[in-house]
């Protein structure tokens, strides 16, 4: 009997292993999807949905409101998703209530209609709607935004100051004194006219594995060669959203969103911190001092060594420490 069980189990495991290898080479996006699901569970994030048939928001959550510690709402950057914050779910203390949402058109949230006027105001409006739906509206929360998400949360705080207890801006999208590699290529593309911009013009909108490698090289300090099949899987997962991402870039370019945060930073009154990767190639670190001078209540400015635009990938531990110090919870 035992030999039968052993042989049967071995055959099943061999089939699973062979199937996984075959799937990795024929449809790598399914393997990447499964790996992301496993990582999500391992980091303690519960994936949830809230909304209606017109506007359905996907978000991640860990824990529940703690009267002794302010809840955290995290907003991701351009073409990213709530999953970019998994490193913080893993590292922030377990008694801190965490929520990260997929912005409209990103992750598993609804995709805006073609005639919707997308842009910063659109995103701010839907974050406000989301906040009401999940009950964060009841008491002020700690708002964190990275990259485009940084610009969005800055404007959210100006619009709804009563909802934000404190604000963390991580490499926020803005016009900086020194041009970054990304801003140079984006500005060159815009010279053709906004409507003529294509995927190939933007480092952050990769379509092929080689373009995906260039994107990762641009956003991190610790550059490394990524397996081609892994990149193909990631590109395939992004593909259904690419058309929206390009439309969003064009909409943001039309409203010149890069100067809005700097122009109105003085309107942000809550305690604020600035976190920036010293070697950011997407939004140059020179923007940190500009914001520091204009913010009315900037309590911390942390320039992270050996980190690029995606501090969450380069130095997640350093980022966690910076956030906890700002919250007065680091020990």
Catalytic residues: 147, 280, 309
- Beta strand 56-62 with 272-277 is unpaired
- Bridge partners of residue 48, in order along the sequence: 59
- Bridge partners of residue 146, in order along the sequence: 170
Say which residues have a Cβ less than 8 Å from residue 328's Cβ, sequence separation at least 6.
none
DSSP string, 125-167: HHHHHHHHHHTGGGS-EEEEEETHHHHHHHHHHHH-GGGEEEE
Cβ atoms of 261 and 295 closer than 8 Å: no
CA neighbours closer than 13 Å in the CB half-sphere of residue 182: 29
Please report which helix (H) or strand (E) contains residue 47, including its range.
strand 46-51
Q: How far apart are CA 101 and CA 145, in angstroms?
A: 11
Say which residues have a Cβ less than 8 Å from residue 48's Cβ, sequence separation at least 6.
58, 59, 60, 61
Cβ atoms of 277 and 180 closer than 8 Å: no
- The counts of H helices and E strands in the chain are 13, 8
The token duo for 317 is 């531990």
């Amino acid at each position: 009997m035992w030999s039968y069980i052993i042989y049967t189990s071995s055959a099943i495991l061999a089939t699973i292993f062979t199937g996984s290898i075959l799937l990795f080479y024929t449809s790598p996006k399914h393997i990447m999807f499964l790996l992301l699901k496993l990582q999500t569970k391992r980091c303690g994030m519960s994936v949830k949905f809230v909304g209606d048939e017109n506007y359905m928001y996907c978000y991640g959550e860990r824990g529940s409101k703690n009267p002794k510690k302010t809840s955290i709402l995290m907003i991701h950057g351009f073409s990213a998703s709530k999953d970019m914050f998994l490193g913080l779910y893993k590292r922030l203390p377990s008694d801190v209530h965490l929520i990260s949402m997929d912005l409209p058109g990103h992750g598993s949230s609804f995709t805006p209609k073609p005639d919707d006027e997308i842009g910063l105001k659109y995103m701010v409006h839907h974050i406000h709607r989301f906040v009401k739906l999940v009950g964060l509206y009841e008491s002020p929360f700690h708002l964190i935004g990275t990259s485009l998400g940084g610009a969005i949360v800055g404007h959210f705080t100006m619009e709804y100051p009563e909802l934000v207890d404190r604000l963390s801006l991580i490499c926020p999208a803005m016009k900086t004194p020194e041009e970054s590699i990304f801003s140079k290529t984006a500005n060159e593309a815009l010279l053709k006219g906004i409507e003529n911009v294509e995927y190939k013009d933007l480092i952050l909108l990769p379509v092929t594995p080689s373009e995906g490698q260039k994107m990762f090289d641009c956003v991190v300090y610790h550059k490394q060669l990524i397996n081609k099949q892994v990149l193909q899987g990631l590109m395939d997962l992004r593909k259904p959203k690419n058309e929206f991402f390009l439309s969003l870039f064009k909409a943001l370019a039309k409203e010149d969103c890069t100067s809005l945060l700097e122009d109105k930073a003085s309107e942000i009154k809550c305690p604020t911190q600035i976190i920036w990767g010293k070697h950011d190639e997407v939004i140059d670190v020179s923007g940190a001092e500009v914001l520091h001078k204009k913010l009315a209540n900037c309590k911390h400015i942390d320039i992270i060594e050996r980190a690029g635009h995606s501090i969450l990938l380069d130095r997640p531990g350093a980022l966690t420490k910076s956030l906890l110090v700002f919250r007065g919870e680091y020990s």
